[in-house]
Amino acid sequence: MKGLRVFACCAALFAGLMVAANASAGCCDPAPAPCCAPAPVCCPPPPVSVSFCVVDPCTCCKYPVTVCVPACCAGQTPCYVGCKSGFLGRKILTYKFECCGECVDVVITKHGRVIVRD
């Protein structure tokens, strides 16, 4: 019986607080302006795959690679930027898509395996 009285008191107190909050909110809140409607969100187009050949600067071997780049780079051929030495005799070739500024690293291992880091 004591639990029921405690529940009834809490319910009455909560109901009173809600009425007071609704009454004060109605007279103090300004009406929303019609120009504040959220603008529709446009999603960017999904990335596309671009294939091109990379040339090992030491051996002149050509390797075909496919990279994922933003849609604005579709159909573009990247420019060779440079090469640096990597871990365990790897060569890291950097290519840049001029149209979108996207850079891609292509790693060639000493055994001729090609790894793309986009």
Cut 0.75: pTM above it = no
**Rounded CA separation 64/44 (Å):** 28
Q: What pLDDT is stored for residue 93 in this prediction?
A: 94
pLDDT at 52: 92
CA dist., res. 31 & res. 113, Å (int): 64
> What pLDDT sits at residue 21?
47
Consecutive 10-residue averages of pLDDT for the chain (118 residues):
53 50 51 62 85 89 91 88 91 91 92 86
CB of 106 closer than 8 Å to CB of 114: yes
Angle at 114 between CA 108 and CA 115, to 5 degrees: 100
Cα–Cα distance, 78 to 76 (Å, whole number): 6
Q: State the pLDDT at residue 17.
A: 47
